[in-house]
Amino acid sequence: MSLAQWALVTGASSGIGTDLARGLAAKGINLVLAARRQESLTALGDELAVQYKVDCRIEAIDLAEKDSAADLADRVNQLPIRILVNCAGFGFFGPFQKPDWTFYADMAQVNMVSMAQLTYLLLPAMRACKEDCYILNVGSVAGWQGVPQFAHYSATKAFVNTFSEGLAWELEGSNISVTCLQPGKTATGFFKSSGIEEGHDAYLRQGVMSAKDVAQAGLDAMFKRKAAVVTGLNNRLNVLASRMVPRHVLKHTISFLFKEFKE
């Protein structure tokens, strides 16, 4: 991977996105760091530029805005983007009708529409490139089944999981590989921002992986051109079970696991 090549990482200002950016910088790959929080992006970019001697470009953007993905694609169209990391996303844990609809519309825009649109817009340049190119989408184990109190979020991640799988098959044999990173519970600010943190310490301590380990698993799978990686043995077993057991059994299992969150 030469220094002339670049990676675009959305959602780079925190959590898994930050550690994905760090992992790419450690390989000497120049970075476009995209997220809403310019201050956090600038601090990260300065850190990586000094530590790894890579170029870091900051693009503060809100991917909840309509056609923001097109705006971002225009900003980077002169750069040789060989790696696209779609990590931007957010969720809400609680009754479906608790937030207003605008919140859910923004979630759908960030988690699904902007992700797919950015991929769509960057694909032509990747196709025209003679070098290997990579797309890494961050899905979730929550996307393998509906989750009570998490219905909208899990549905958006189901889209990411299946979109990535279909595109990976479509591009098989080309210079472009598509990998879907599917983490379970990860030590980031996600739980707090989605409203699940307080009062459920026992749940949050079980099977939690570090963002660094999750990111490394994703990058390892991406560079091996794997279509998907579920992080953690327990998560892999849970996904396997969800694909094998009847849906009515799965419903009762998931409902039992999340019964403490019922209002």
pLDDT at 2: 45
Residue 1: predicted pLDDT = 42
Phi, psi (deg, nearest 5) at residue 62: -105, 105
3-state SS record for the chain: CCCCCEEEEECCCCHHHHHHHHHHHHCCCEEEEEECCHHHHHHHHHHHHHHHCCCEEEEECCCCCCCHHHHHHHHCCCCCEEEEEECCCCCCCCCCCCCCHHHHHHHHHHHHHHHHHHHHHHHHHHHHCCCCEEEEEECCHHHHCCCCCCHHHHHHHHHHHHHHHHHHHHCCCCCEEEEEEECCCEECCHHHHHCCCCCCHHHHHCCCEEHHHHHHHHHHHHHCCCCEEECCHHHHHHHHHHHHCCHHHHHHHHHHHCHHHCC
pLDDT (0 to 100) of residue 131: 94
CATH (residue range 6-261) = 3.40.50.720
Predicted local distance difference test score (pLDDT) of residue 250: 59
Q: Which residues are catalytic?
A: 153
> For tokens 């960030």, what's the residue?
110
Q: Please write the tens of the pLDDT for every residue from 225-261.
A: 999 999 977 777 777 767 776 666 555 556 655 555 5
- Convert the pLDDT of each residue in 115-125 to its tens digit: 999 999 999 99
Q: CA-CA distance, 76 to 34, in Å (whole number)?
A: 11
Res 236: pLDDT: 72
All structural domains of the chain with their residue ranges? 6-261
Q: What is the pLDDT of residue 18?
A: 98
pLDDT at residue 93 in the model: 85
pLDDT for the residue numbered 206: 63
User: What stretches in the chain show pLDDT beneath 70?
Assistant: 1-4, 189-206, 241, 245-263
Calpha distance 122→144 (Å, rounded): 27
> Do 32 and 8 contact (CB within 8 A), yes or no?
yes
- Distance between CA atoms of 201 and 132, rounded to whole angstroms? 43
Nearest to 81 by CA among 121, 36, 40: 121
| DSSP strand pairing (186-187 vs 56-60) | unpaired
